[in-house]
Amino acid sequence: MPRTANRPPKPKWIASRAPGGERYRRVKQRLRTLDLHTVCESALCPNVAECWGGGTATIMIMGDVCTRGCRFCAVKTGNPKGALDAEEPGRVAEAVAELELDYVVLTSVDRDDLADGGAAHFAATVEAIRARLPQARIEALIPDFSGDEAALKTLVAARPDVVAHNIETVRRLTPLARDRRADYERSLEVLRAVKRLDPGRLTKSSIMAGLGETDDEIAASLADLKAAGADIVTLGQYLRPSPKHLPVARYLTPEEFQMWEEKARALGFRFVAAGPLVRSSFRAGELFVKGVLGERTQASESC
């Protein structure tokens, strides 16, 4: 197919390892047996081989049908009609324990069909993992719960180690890339609200680059995230999941991502990961979080 102005050539640094290996197969088989979904597969993540091979999976709860239709996302869109699987939290906990995961990322589709956006189900899953495997570190990558702070309070009360919510893109491109029910300022408010509810809770967000944003806009979004109290930020290259999704405007070079990592660190984020294949659930972030939480444990034990 001939290239068009909307289809810049994919550069050589956009390459990921093909899935394989015993650990990868074990994770995949057990998740299938327990009828659990992962965003690794649903969102066509390029790092699935690295993460599953290392014993990490981002588990997507509340089904695989999202009520929103963001123009960058490969997850199915539709109406789940209020259906929730009450047994799912227990199955997730079982999978985490059996696979001996020491760091688990929970995420979900948007569930605007539920009164609380699914916050109680999210919290129940965190609590089920805690009960089954107390030493596991849990990152909750949450939707915006339609801006309902009571729903967010339910989630925060379950005490995941990290609460993540992605702004996805810069302010100007939010209406183009995200569903009409998503809002840039609301996403920032989610992060601010987590810090109000629990000032010590680690918070995290992520930006996709390559949708047509300017350098000034990326810089402004990083400043907005820092002002909202985000501790961790990741920046990665947007990769078009299919011809139905937004085209890639351009591919940033590894050197540009290195520049953004340095600029974000200079703003004072506690951890930054930036690179062409970096995603929100990037494994380097796990090492940072485990290190920070380990330091806290040692400090409390020495008191």
Could you please report the per-residue DSSP string of 199-256? Answer: TTSEEEEEEEE-SS--HHHHHHHHHHHHHTT-SEEEEEE----STTSPPP--PPPHHH
Distance CA 188, CA 178 (A): 15
Task: Show the domains of the chain with their CATH numbers.
Answer: 22-302 (3.20.20.70)
Mode of pairing for the β-strands spanning 202-209 and 162-164: parallel
Output the tens digit of pLDDT for each of the chain's 303 residues.
Answer: 344 455 788 888 886 555 555 556 666 666 666 666 655 444 445 545 555 555 566 788 999 899 999 999 988 999 999 999 999 999 999 988 888 887 888 999 999 999 999 999 999 999 999 999 998 889 999 999 999 999 999 999 999 999 999 999 999 999 999 999 999 999 999 999 999 999 999 999 999 999 999 999 999 999 999 999 999 999 999 999 899 999 999 999 999 999 999 999 999 999 998 999 887 766 545 666 766 776 665 555 555
Amino acid at the residue 114: L
